[in-house]
Amino acid sequence: MVPVYLILVPVTESHRKILITKEKDNNMIYYTLIVFENGNWYPQFGSYDRDEVKYERQVWLDDEYSAFNVKIIKTVTEDKDGSRYQDALDKRLDELNNKTAWVDALNKVLNNK
């Protein structure tokens, strides 16, 4: 009989982050906490670790912010090191803020009738 050895190697924090931040095609995932204030969405905190962002979201909710005004969004960068996440984040925030502006304009029209 041949002995079989099982070697357990601890997963470090950096390995865990690498595992959770890759999509199928190896693009980097960046999570951002955004808060709706004064008619626009603004980034407040971001990380490649979703649990960190969820914790920060809970801090804002504990500060009596509405769950409708505090959200986590996911942006994916096409570069392998995640260095250009800011471009993807800016694009996503522009989309959200333009949608908000359109809804505000529609509400003004409807309220004036």
The predicted structure's pLDDT at residue 29: 84
Would you place residue 93 in the very low, low, confident or very high pLDDT band (cuts 50, 70, 90)?
A: confident
Q: What's the mean pLDDT in 75-99?
A: 75
Provide φ and ψ at 90, rounded to 5°.
Answer: -60, -40
The predicted structure's pLDDT at residue 56: 95
Does the reported pTM lie above 0.75?
no
> In Å, what is the CA distance from 20 to each residue of 8, 14, 47, 106?
20, 10, 11, 40
Is the pLDDT reported for residue 5 higher than 60? no
Q: Name the percent of the chain lying above pLDDT 70.
A: 60
User: What type of residue sits at position 104?
Assistant: D
The predicted structure's pLDDT at residue 14: 47
Alpha carbon distance 43, 61 (integer Å): 15
Q: What are the extents of the domains in the chain?
A: 14-106
Would you place residue 82 in the very low, low, confident or very high pLDDT band (cuts 50, 70, 90)?
A: low
